[in-house]
Amino acid sequence: MPAPRPVESVSINIRAKSRQRDLIDQAAGRLGRGRSEFMLEAACHEAESVLLDQTFFAVDAGTFSKRALLDRPLPPTDQLRRLLKTKAPWETGSHKA
């Protein structure tokens, strides 16, 4: 097993328009983060999303045939009806901000 690589910081430089920088700074400030921390977190989140969306899953024929279950609607049950009638917390006004 190869030895783990040492964690080293590297510099990433990008160009941005002043309005883009201001928008990023405003959002980072709202979260109590610095620009670099905010940008790195957002970029890594997007990169993970792209990579996960393009992940290849190899499954056997039996497992693959079960994917059709995802397209079938759930059978109507009392529990499902109650769930669909339940308002989201932001619709009821009972959530705490």
The answer to the question of residue 50 being in a domain is yes
The answer to the question of residue 11 being in a domain is no
The answer to the question of residue 8 being in a domain is no
Report the distance separating Cα 36 and Cα 16, nearest Å.
Answer: 13
Which residues form the domain of 50? 18-73
The answer to the question of residue 7 being in a domain is no
The answer to the question of residue 60 being in a domain is yes
Per-residue pLDDT tens listing for the chain (97 residues): 667 777 889 999 999 999 999 999 999 999 999 999 999 999 999 999 999 988 888 889 999 888 888 888 888 999 999 999 999 888 876 555 5
The answer to the question of residue 45 being in a domain is yes
The answer to the question of residue 44 being in a domain is yes
Angle between helices 18-30 and 35-53 (to 10 degrees): 90
Please state the domain count of the chain. 1
